[in-house]
Structure 1
Amino acid sequence: MSAGEAPVAAGVGAPLVDTHGRVHRDLRISLTDRCSLRCTYCMPEQGNEWLAKSSILTVDEIVQVARVAAADGISTFRLTGGEPLLRADIVDVVRRLSAITGPDGARVQVAMTTNGIRLPELLPGLVAAGLSRVNISLDTLRRDRFAALTRRDRLQDVLAGIAAAAASGLRPVKLNAVAMRDVNDDELVELVEFAIAHDAQLRFIEQMPLDAGHTWDRDRMVTQAEILATLSTRWVLTEVPGRGGAPAARWLLDGGPHTVGVIASVTAPFCGDCDRLRLTADGQLRNCLFSTTEYDLLPTLRTQPAAVHDEGIDRMLRACVHGKLPGHAINDPAFLQPARGMNAIGG
């Protein structure tokens, strides 16, 4: 079945259920492929081919898609990039998305993953606009390492963003760290202690094959087992039950209340409970972070009559869900890394 061809025209308002029985409730919306950092595991320092400005979805188009998705049962929108705070209209995006309600009349949740650099200036407006939660990327607490890893000397700006989030009413604040061998694997305990001091939850992420240069090496990856072994030298870890569709498995530290999470997409995939879809900044629907197939919404949004937009969006959402595989197959010898880098897919 070709991308965009839906097997069943269930109609707007029916749940988004794939052929493996997974009900989809989460849509990751990438707002831009541009970023103020150049993390080595995400994008090259120079020579990036940015998405054409004319292909980037407008706020109206994002809201159109989100409104239909919410009617179909999507209850959480996570704004990603690139760096979502680079969008000049970011507060308007949050305000308009947070006003959307689902079939039960409840407002959707709007979360964001960011590098935190612009949070001190923008967070008050984002909270007032309806932002529910924020995740901030922080791979190291050492300035020299941060500069080498991101190719930008901006650690103090990120730390200021984390402080702003900690001082806000948003909870939980989550800090995401990609664990990398011989890069930051000697900081794992330190990063968790930093998170605790800022009333935040640290989540370690196994490095995944999503770099634009396709240089990922499985043998260089720090595994979940290694992360937990290191943390166990400092805390007694007790796994928290009831993970559901959440990407991170969590452990209580010394019985709580603080926790640490690990997103082990490579060594302990959670595909069987995945409830996420992704929308790229240029209007492509993806049913998996590692998918090699995309479902193009731009023709529906820009060439079809406005009167049939909802039906066309719904049909494309269902085609995307129907095409979802049981898992990402990273551990399959025939696995192919997506052509897009992480910044162009959206986290």
Structure 2
Amino acid sequence: MTVVNLGTPRSAALRTEPSTEGRPDTRDLVDRYGRVARDLRVSVTEKCSLRCTYCMPEDGLPSIPRDDLLSAVEISRLVRIATRDLGITEVRLTGGEPLMRADLAEIIGLSAEAAPGVDLSITTNGIGLDHRIRSLVDAGLTRVNVSLDTVDREHFARLTRRDRLPAVLAGIRAAHDAGLTPLKLNAVLMRDTLAGAPDLLAWAIENGCRLRFIEQMPLDADHTWMRDNMVPAAELLDVLGARFTLTEAGRVDPSAPAEEWLVDGGPATVGIIASVTRSFCSACDRTRITAEGTVRSCLFGDDETDLRALLRGGADDAEIARWWRGAMWGKQAGHGIGADGFVPPVRSMGAIGG
């Protein structure tokens, strides 16, 4: 299935239902390699208030027509199908930047009703979160992950192309004050912010946040990623180790991608998601829905299965679930970044959703 314009997809015309030949008779979202998806990521918009160099082009992504975006009701229906019929136990709303959706509280509220008791979180850059946190929590939000790569204002402005660090920090404080703790911070490892990594970790510990560093993947819209320029986890550990005593703790949560280290004996920890150098594809448990309603089984697989046309074409829940299972059955083995002839996906991270 072809996507164009930095990930803005083609029309929603349905194609042949994905093959499920050889698939075991199970309700779960299993693939050919025995992995089972339990974690659902739903992108709600391609828009963002920042222009991070590893994610967005300077002018932003092409706008998706409003009618092509899933509505709050459609998103909640997919959340209900996923949690009731497909074995999903965790739901996260992403973007772009989810706070760019004016109806985010409605999306959260309807999704919480559709999946009572299921962990419902957002990944956000935090800008404007201080003004909306109460309505989101009241709607049913249970957790927040904030993207923060540096606490150096100059570096932040250069990396994001926006001087908005104070607004991000205000959002983090608001989430903490609202009781959404422990609050997780995600930091993408970049060459020009590596020296500031110890300061970011110290800030996170001081402010009661759990920090996770993520190796940069070739998902930038400008397609400038080069493996020789990325910061590997081993180099980060050397930089952090010059200031802190790190003790490897492994994966505290076996289903989570982050390897954890105790900082100065604990209880504080730092996580590292070594997406490139220590691939965890063999244990991947995620399924993704793009803002336009297509199932994306892998970050690096451009094949997508359109559920939006099913939603709007009168399909019942069982049919939608069947197509979704078929989409995940065909999931690829891994990202293949280290393979000869590797080609990055057409969609950038901002268009896929984290």
TM exceeding 0.5: yes
CA distance in 2, matches of 1:21, 1:95: 33
Match of 1:66 among 63, 75, 79: 79
Within the alignment, does 1:279 sit opposite 2:289 as a pair? yes
2:49–2:97 contact (8 Å) kept in structure 1: yes
Matches within 5 A, 1:1-80: 4-7=17-20, 14-46=27-59, 48-71=61-84, 72-80=86-94
Residues 287, 295 of structure 2: 8 Å contact kept: yes
Q: Which amino acid aligns with 2:222?
A: G
Q: Any conservation in 2 of the 1:3–1:294 contact (CA below 8 Å)?
A: no
Stretch deviating more after TM superposition (326-335 or 83-92) = 326-335
Matched, 1:202 2:211: yes
Q: Say whether 1:154 aligns with 2:168.
A: no
What SS class does the counterpart of residue 292 from structure 1 fall into? coil
From the superposition, tell whether residues 12 and 122 of structure 1 become closer, same or farther in structure 2 (CA, over 3 Å): farther
Q: Secondary structure at the match of 2:210?
A: strand
Give 1:289's aligned residue.
299
TM-score, length-scaled by structure 1: 0.93
Instruction: Decide which moves more: 329-338 or 26-35.
Output: 329-338
Specify the alignment match of 1:111 in structure 2. Answer: 121
What is the letter of the counterpart of residue 199 of structure 2? E
Q: Confirm whether residue 166 of structure 1 aligns to residue 176 of structure 2.
A: yes
Shift of 1:255: 2.0
Instruction: Report how far residue 129 of structure 1 moved.
Output: 1.5
SS at match of 1:228: helix
Structure 2 spans left out of the alignment, 5+ residues: 2-14
1:190 aligns with: 199
Match of 2:345 in 1: 338
- Whole-angstrom CA distance in 2 between matches of 1:264 and 1:332: 17
Q: What whole-Å deviation, never above 9, does each CA across 1:92-122 have from its counterpart, x for those lacking one?
A: 1111212234xxxx62110110000111011
Match of 2:105 among 70, 73, 91: 91
CA distance in 2, matches of 1:248, 1:112: 18
Aligned AA for 2:29?
Answer: L
**Corresponding letter in the other structure for 1:161:** G
Give the TM-score, by structure 2 length: 0.91
State the alpha-carbon separation in 1 of the partners of residues 101 and 19 from structure 2. 32
Q: Which residue of 2 aligns with 1:234?
A: 243
Identity of aligned residues (%): 50
Structure 1: gaps (5+ residues)? none
Aligned residue-pair number = 339
Q: How far apart are residue 167 of structure 1 and its match?
A: 1.8
Give how far 1:240 is off: 2.1
Residue 139 of structure 2 is aligned to residue 129 of structure 1: yes
Q: Structure 1: how far apart are the matches of 2:240 and 2:152?
A: 19
CA distance in structure 2 between the partners assigned to 1:227 and 1:142 by the alignment: 17
Amino acid at match of 1:56: L
Q: Distance in 2 between matches of 1:13 and 1:61?
A: 25
Letter aligned with residue 202 of structure 1: L
> How far apart in 2 are the matches of 1:26 and 1:12?
20
1:225 aligns with 2:239: no
Alignment of 1:248-287 (within 5 A): 248-287=258-297
CA deviation map 1:34-67 (0-9, x unaligned): 0001111111112631222221000111111111
Which amino acid counterpart does residue 337 of structure 1 have in structure 2?
Answer: P
Query: Higher mean Cα deviation, 58-67 or 232-241?
Result: 232-241
1:346 deviates by: 0.2
User: Per the alignment, in what secondary structure is the counterpart of residue 194 of structure 2?
Assistant: coil
One-letter code of the match for 1:203?
Answer: R
Aligned counterpart for 1:142 among listed residues 140, 152, 158: 152
Matches of 1:255 and 1:74 in 2, distance apart? 35
Structure-1 separation of matches of 2:234 and 2:289: 32
Deviation by residue 1:97-154 (Cα, 9 ceiling, x = unmatched): 12234xxxx6211011000011101111111221111111111212222111111111
- Kept in 2, the 8 Å contact 1:12–1:314? The answer is no
Deviation larger for 78-87 or 142-151? 142-151
The more displaced of 5-14 and 166-175 is 5-14
Q: Distance in 1 between matches of 2:309 and 2:26?
A: 22
After superposition, the C-alpha distances for 1:140-198 in whole angstroms (9 at most, x for unaligned) are 212222111111111110111111122221122011111111x1011010000010111
